[in-house]
């Protein structure tokens, strides 16, 4: 069936099988292979994209469900030569090894920051109504949906902390 | 021209003299911008014109035969074909170089690949694969469990030195313990994938593979074609950890289907397929017998193991590999026993042998140290032998004592107390230590190095980078040797049309492929020295300028065109005449919940001695990886087989628990400065697996130190701890 997806600010027309996931639409039909498939089951986070600024697992969504949404993929955050602060920080802190989970980690980190800005608590927040603290433990908890078998977690956390001010993170205790 | 070296004798420490400053220190990865922007292309991401999509079909019985009924699906939308020819049973074992078993309609385990369903789109192929009718004829006699009634084959002649039983009975202190570990899955984040296309009789395969030199032979053999008709491309690989050492079923399936169809075919394994069709680490039972005298000197070491594999698989987990050379003791006994089961094949997973063998050994050392009333670090230091205790060979280098002692100092080991003596809220705290050892290996490897007059350089080899940092270090080595900035070097990898390298595995990649680049660059240095009129020893190359014999010339003036040299390294007598291994010490502090038995790792330190460190940043990342794999091994990772069918019931990433971000505390890595002159011309040793060897044992030893519960059955899930807490 026909569907128009708005990806990285561009309208893209597609004629696809209704069973096509958002992830497969991006990877197999739009040549946007930056979003990775690690499990196809919502278990690894490699496929994380932003839909209207919220992070989701693109493998758990059907493309046709997202006709009117703003979709942002890793390609939309920055490209070689014009990397985003998060992308630069991942390179700087070796927040990866094989690089396969990396786009998902970066997009997820971006989405996580807007959740901080909205004051969302997490499973490790002491007070559910307070402004969350941008601490290592909070970052670790909130990034635990993104698996990295190369185990670059220390570099991933360091990169996120380093890039946060430049990414415009504001609403945290640390920024107060 | 080829600069060849067979490593028969110690080479000068050139990399301490070159002085460009391109090695040792941290350097970011040249391919980093591609990886962080999603523009590095992994195997499944090649989209070729008119490409068809394939999905694997798995066997639903444990043992027997199967017949595919193609007519059941051929009217489905998008149907292209069902192919069963030459289907391989499981991925090839590492360095096999020949085809894996091709069972031709027989089923040997549940989840085995039996066909590939090909259609116009992925959605259609998936539907067809699921709808395909298969007629099974089950056979009797399937074996799916290793227990006391299992028959075992003895895999190798048990070593028997001295009299272990006598030494045990006469010892001042001894322990005799049984440790068990569950099977482990590599779980590289990129599922195995292949895009096959034929140019006449030649297949071009884009795959996700670690060892292209072996893989091209495995693919050729599986297809029954000449190896000259195989080209494999694998420039980016989303993690390997042993799971991509050998050619895997989707490669053969894609190649067969593509040949029949005359069009490109892509086959990507589903995550469940990865768990079932790709080799995993065997479960192990390990009987540890250790004895020492009143002074804490080991008198006996026994390390016997039991494990499983499919019939016909040559690989056995070398569980006792490091036990042979790590500690002294005159009376020693080993033995390896293999049960042949109808379950997914066993093979190499990161640090085969050490990853599980050093759990048994290092836990047993902890037990014996405690029995003898000696601090575990002191106990280990006392038992480091002068030379390898069985072969009598000298160590090429052995900084184990230094790693243990420097690490203890850095970790604050003196603050360690006894079980249940540190309580914080409802958490007992404790510290543990374990030695790390991993054999060091050099493999034959080749690379071309080209220096251009403009001061840029090119490195070309079929070596792979599976996340280990090959792109970084090969560029750094060339830059250091040629006196140019690393940003001026382009590294091309992962193409079998390039000179054949060692491949990535066994922690030998940096040493082997690195040495070939070193040699190629050394050959170029010889040419430049000639042109400058000095000896190669006198030549200094720095920032694009050559100096020697009172001459100083920019490269552009010395060169009228590019110079290309092939570097070729081969292992020589230093591999046989020395016990070569990386050594290290792992430290862990854990908290054990006194109510639930839950374990949280608080911090870890790895003190590692792996010869010269080429890139402090990528090397540290490798060790982080090892430490974190240690957390998974110790606490969460276990494949569960259905006892009735051998089915892997937790065949996905939700149920097979690899460490997540919150499981990982702050990790420290300390490199002990070292040069290993016998290892290779760069004096380096492997680091990728050393960081895992023993890491899990440090954690379980810390659990004991925290709460007094010794876990013998890995992983140390709460159910194995809280019943024993009073
Ligand atoms: S591929 Fe979507 S979560 Fe794993
Ligand atoms: S970088 Fe390899 S899985 Fe994260």
Q: Measured from the CB, is residue A89 less than 6 Å from ligand 2? A: no
3-state secondary structure B378-439: HHHHHCCCCCCCCCCCCECCCCHHHHHHHHHHHHCHHHCCCCCCCEECCEEEEEEEEEEEEE
Using the predicted structure, report yes or no on whether residue B159 has a pLDDT greater than 90: no
Q: Is it true that domain A85-167 has CATH number 1.10.150.120?
A: yes
Q: Ligand 2 centre from B121 Cα, in Å? A: 28
Specify the pLDDT at position A172.
Answer: 62
Chain B (603-642) residues lying within 8 Å, Cβ to Cβ, of chain A? 617-618, 620-622, 624-625, 627-629
- Would you state the pLDDT for residue A109? 98
The C-alpha atoms of residue B459 and residue A148 are separated, in whole angstroms, by: 29
pLDDT for B37 beyond 60: yes
* Spatial separation of the C-alpha atoms in residues B515 and B496, rounded to whole Å: 19
A149 C-alpha to ligand 2 centroid (Å): 5
Q: Is A57 in the pocket of ligand 1 (CB under 6 A)?
A: yes
| Cβ-proximal residues to B309 (8 Å cutoff; 6+ apart), any chain | B282, B315, B316, B338, B339, B340, B341, B345, B346
What integer is the mean pLDDT of B692-707? 98
Give the count of Cβ contacts less than 8 A between chain A and B.
197
What length is written for chain B? 726
B156 pLDDT exceeds 90?
Answer: no
Helices (H), B14-70: 32-36
pLDDT range class, residue A5, cuts 50, 70, 90: very high
At A171 the pLDDT is 60
Stretch (H or E) spanning B257: helix B249-261
Cα distance between residue B599 and residue B432, in whole Å = 13
CA dist., res. B609 & res. B690, Å (int):
9
**Strand-pair partners of B568:** B4, B446
Measured from the CA of B189, which atom of ligand 2 is nearest?
A: 3
Mean pLDDT of the A38-49 span: 98
Whether B38 sits inside 8 A of A73 (CB atoms) is yes
pLDDT in tens, B570-595: 999 999 999 999 999 999 999 999 99
Chain A positions touching B667 (Cβ under 8 A) are: 154
Nearest-CB residue to B39 (from A40, A80, A140): A80
| Residue of chain A whose Cα is closest to the Cα of B186 | A149
Can you tell me the distance from the alpha carbon of B31 to that of B29, in angstroms, rounded to the nearest whole number?
5
Q: Does A1 touch chain B (CB under 8 A)?
A: no
**Is the pLDDT score of A174 beyond 60?**
no
Q: How confident is the model at residue B613 (pLDDT cuts 50, 70, 90)?
A: very high
Task: Test B467 with A27 for CB contact under 8 angstroms.
Answer: no
- DSSP state for residue B233 in the 8-state scheme: E
- DSSP annotation of B248 reads -
Catalytic residue among B190, B370, B674, B689: B689
Question: In the block, which residue shows the tokens 């490269």?
Answer: B555
Is 0.95 exceeded by the ipTM? yes
CA B679 remoteness from chain centre: 19
Query: Any idea what the Cα angle at residue B359 is, between residues B295 and B390, rounded to 5°?
Result: 55
Mean pLDDT value of segment B41-60: 98
Interface touch A43/B654, C-beta < 8 Å: yes
Considering chain A, tell me which residue range(s) the CATH 3.10.20.30 domain(s) occupy. 2-77
Are B3 and B522 within 8 A, CB to CB?
A: yes
For residues B714 and B721, give the distance between their C-alpha atoms in angstroms, rounded to a whole number.
Answer: 11
Strands (E), B149-271: 153-154, 160-161, 173-181, 193-199, 202-207, 230-233, 265-268
Q: Specify the pLDDT at position A176.
A: 42
Q: What is the mean pLDDT of chain B?
A: 97
- Show residues of chain A in contact with B28, CB under 8 Å: 91-92, 94
Q: How far is the CA of A97 from the centre of ligand 2 (A)?
A: 5
Exposed/middle/buried for residue A6 (C-beta within 10 Å: 0-12, 13-18, 19+):
middle
Which residues 83-142 of A are in CB contact (within 8 Å) with B?
Answer: 83, 87-88, 90-92, 94, 96-103, 106, 124, 136-137, 139-141
Q: Which of A17, A98, A140 sits opposite B466 (nearest CB)?
A: A98
Report, as an integer, the average pLDDT of B361-379: 98
Q: How far does the CA of residue A104 sit from the closest CA of chain B (Å)?
A: 9
Using pLDDT thresholds of 50, 70 and 90, give the confidence band for residue A152.
very high
- The two tokens of residue B182 are 């569950």
pLDDT for residue A173: 57
Taking alpha carbons only, the member of B366, B396, B392, B390 closest to residue B585 is: B366
In B, minimum Cα distance to A77 occurs at B37
- Taking CA–CA distances from A78, the nearest residue in chain B reads B37
Question: Which H or E element spans position B671?
Answer: strand B666-671
CATH 3.30.390.50 fits B2-40+443-570, yes or no: no
Identify whether the C-beta of residue A53 lies closer than 8 Å to the C-beta of residue A73.
no
Local confidence band at A170 (pLDDT 50, 70, 90 cut-offs): confident
Structure tokens at B405: 């002692």
Q: Is the CB of A40 under 6 A from ligand 1?
A: yes
Tokens of B439: 């054999």
> Does residue B723 contact residue B595 with C-beta atoms inside 8 Å?
no
The stretch B176-184 carries a mean pLDDT of 98
Q: Which residues contact B258 (CB under 8 A, 6 or more apart)?
A: B196, B197, B198, B203, B264, B265
Identify which ligand lies nearest to the alpha carbon of B40: 2
* Residue A14, H or E segment: strand A10-15
Tens-place pLDDT, residues B283-301? 999 999 999 999 999 999 9
Average pLDDT estimate for B57-71: 98
Q: How far is residue A36's CA from residue A58's CA, in Å, rounded to a whole number?
A: 9
Q: Which CATH superfamily is domain A2-77 in?
A: Beta-grasp domain (3.10.20.30)
Among B633, B625, B640, smallest CA distance to B700 is for B633
Three-class DSSP category at B15: helix
C-beta of A103 in contact with ligand 1 (< 6 A): no
Q: Which atom of ligand 1 is nearest to the CA of A57?
A: 2
- Distance from residue A100's CA to the centre of ligand 2 (Å): 5
Neighbouring C-beta atoms of residue B401, cutoff 10 Å = 17
What's the distance, CA B26 to chain centroid?
Answer: 23
Is B450 near chain A, with CB under 8 Å? no
pTM of the shown model: 0.98
Distance between CA atoms of B432 and B377, rounded to whole angstroms? 10
DSSP B483-524: TS-GGGEEEE-SBTTSPP---S-TT-HHHHHHHHHHHHHHHH
Q: Which CATH architecture has domain B43-141+189-277?
A: 2-Layer Sandwich (3.30)
Enter the DSSP assignment of B45: G
State the distance from the centre of ligand 1 to the C-alpha of A40, rounded, in angstroms. 5
**For B408, how many CA atoms within 13 A lie in the half-sphere containing its CB?**
19
Each residue's pLDDT tens digit, B415-458: 999 999 999 999 999 999 999 999 999 999 999 999 999 999 99
Quick one: A154 exposed, middle or buried, by C-beta within 10 A (0-12, 13-18, 19+)? buried
- The secondary structure element, H or E, covering residue B70 is none
Pocket test for ligand 1, best of A40, A61, A103, A107 (most atoms within 8 A of CB): A40
Q: What angle do CA B197, B199, B205 make, to 5 degrees?
A: 35
Assess whether B31 carries a catalytic annotation: no
Domain B353-441+577-724 falls in which CATH fold?
A: Aldehyde Oxidoreductase; domain 4 (3.30.365)
Domains of chain B, residue spans = 2-40+443-570, 43-141+189-277, 353-441+577-724
């Amino acid at each position: 069936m026909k569907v128009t997806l708005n990806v990285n600010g561009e309208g893209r027309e597609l004629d696809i099988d209704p069973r096509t996931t958002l992830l497969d639409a991006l990877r197999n039909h739009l040549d946007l292979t930056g979003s990775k498939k690690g499990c196809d089951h919502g278990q690894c986070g490699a496929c994380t994209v932003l839909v209207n600024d919220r992070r989701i697992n693109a493998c758990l969504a059907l493309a046709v469900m997202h006709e009117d949404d703003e979709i942002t993929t890793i390609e939309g955050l920055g490209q070689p030569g014009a990397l985003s602060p998060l992308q630069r920080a991942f390179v700087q802190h070796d927040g990866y090894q094989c690089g396969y989970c990396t786009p998902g980690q970066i997009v997820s980190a971006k989405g996580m920051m807007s959740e901080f800005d909205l004051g969302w608590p997490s499973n490790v927040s002491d007070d559910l109504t307070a402004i969350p603290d941008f601490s290592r433990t909070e970052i670790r908890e909130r990034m635990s949906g993104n698996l990295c078998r190369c185990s670059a977690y220390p570099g991933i956390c360091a990169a996120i902390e380093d890039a946060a001010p430049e990414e415009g993170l504001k609403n945290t205790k640390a920024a107060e | 021209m080829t600069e060849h070296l067979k490593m028969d004798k110690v080479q000068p420490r050139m990399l301490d003299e070159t002085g460009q400053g391109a090695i040792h220190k941290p350097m970011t990865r040249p391919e980093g911008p591609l990886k962080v922007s999603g523009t590095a292309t992994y195997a499944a991401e090649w989209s070729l014109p008119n490409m068809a999509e394939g999905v694997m079909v798995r066997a639903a019985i444990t043992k027997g035969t199967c017949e595919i009924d193609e007519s059941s699906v051929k009217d489905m939308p998008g149907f292209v074909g069902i192919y069963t020819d030459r289907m391989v049973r499981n991925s090839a074992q590492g360095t096999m170089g020949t085809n894996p078993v091709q069972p031709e309609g027989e089923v040997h385990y549940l989840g085995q690949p039996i066909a590939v369903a090909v259609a116009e789109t992925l959605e259609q192929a998936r539907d067809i694969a699921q709808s395909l009718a298969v007629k099974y004829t089950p056979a009797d006699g399937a074996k799916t469990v290793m227990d006391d009634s299992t028959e075992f084959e003895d895999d190798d002649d048990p070593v028997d030195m001295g009299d272990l039983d006598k030494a045990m009975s006469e010892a001042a202190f001894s322990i005799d313990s049984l440790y068990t570990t569950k099977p482990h899955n590599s779980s590289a984040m990129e599922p195995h994938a292949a895009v096959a296309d034929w140019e006449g009789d030649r297949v071009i395969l884009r795959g996700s593979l670690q060892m292209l030199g072996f893989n091209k032979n495995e693919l050729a053999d599986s297809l029954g074609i000449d190896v000259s008709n195989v080209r494999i491309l694998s420039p980016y690989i989303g993690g390997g950890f042993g799971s991509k050492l050998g050619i895997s079923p989707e490669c053969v399936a894609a190649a067969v289907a593509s040949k029949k169809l005359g069009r490109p075919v892509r086959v990507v394994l589903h995550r469940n397929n990865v768990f079932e069709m790709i080799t995993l680490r065997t479960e192990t039972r390990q009987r540890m017998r250790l004895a020492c005298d009143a002074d804490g000197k080991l008198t006996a070491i026994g390390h016997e193991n039991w494990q499983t594999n499919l019939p016909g698989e040559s690989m056995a987990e070398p569980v006792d590999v490091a036990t042979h050379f790590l500690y002294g003791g005159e009376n020693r006994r080993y033995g390896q026993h293999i049960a042949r089961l109808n379950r997914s094949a066993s093979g190499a997973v990161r640090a085969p042998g050490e990853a599980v063998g050093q759990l048994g050994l290092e836990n047993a050392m902890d037990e014996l140290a405690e029995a003898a009333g000696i601090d575990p670090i002191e106990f280990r230091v006392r038992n480091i032998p002068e030379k390898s205790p069985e072969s009598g060979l000298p160590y090429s280098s052995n900084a184990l004592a230094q790693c243990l002692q420097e690490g203890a100092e850095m970790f604050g080991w003196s603050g360690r107390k006894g079980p249940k003596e540190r309580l914080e809220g409802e958490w007992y705290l404790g510290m543990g230590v374990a030695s790390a050892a991993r054999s060091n290996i050099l493999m034959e490897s080749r690379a071309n190095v080209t220096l251009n007059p403009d001061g840029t350089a090119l490195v070309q080899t079929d070596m792979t980078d599976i996340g280990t940092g090959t792109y970084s270090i090969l560029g750094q080595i060339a830059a250091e040797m040629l006196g140019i900035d690393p940003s001026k070097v382009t590294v091309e990898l992962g193409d079998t049309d390039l000179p054949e390298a060692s491949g990535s595995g066994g922690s030998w990649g940096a040493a082997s492929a690195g040495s070939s680049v070193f040699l190629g660059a050394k050959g170029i240095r010889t040419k430049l020295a000639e042109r400058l009129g000095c000896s190669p020893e006198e030549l200094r190359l720095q920032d694009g300028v050559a100096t020697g014999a009172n001459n100083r010339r920019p490269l552009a003036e010395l060169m009228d065109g590019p110079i290309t040299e092939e570097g070729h390294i081969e292992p020589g007598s230093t591999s046989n005449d020395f016990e070569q291994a990386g050594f290290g010490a792992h430290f862990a502090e854990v908290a054990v919940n006194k109510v639930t038995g839950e374990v949280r790792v608080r911090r870890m330190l790895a003190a590692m001695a792996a010869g010269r460190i080429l890139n402090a940043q990528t090397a540290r990342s490798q060790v982080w990886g090892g430490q974190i794999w240690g957390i998974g091994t110790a606490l969460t990772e276990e494949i569960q087989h259905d006892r009735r069918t051998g089915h892997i019931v937790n065949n996905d990433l939700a149920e097979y628990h690899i460490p997540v971000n919150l499981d990982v505390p702050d990790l420290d890595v300390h490199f002990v400065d070292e040069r290993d002159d016998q290892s290779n011309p760069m004096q380096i040793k492997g680091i990728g697996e050393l960081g895992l060897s023993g890491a899990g044992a440090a954690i379980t030893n810390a659990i004991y130190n925290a709460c007094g519960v010794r876990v013998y059955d890995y992983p140390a899930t709460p159910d194995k701890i809280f019943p024993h807490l009073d």
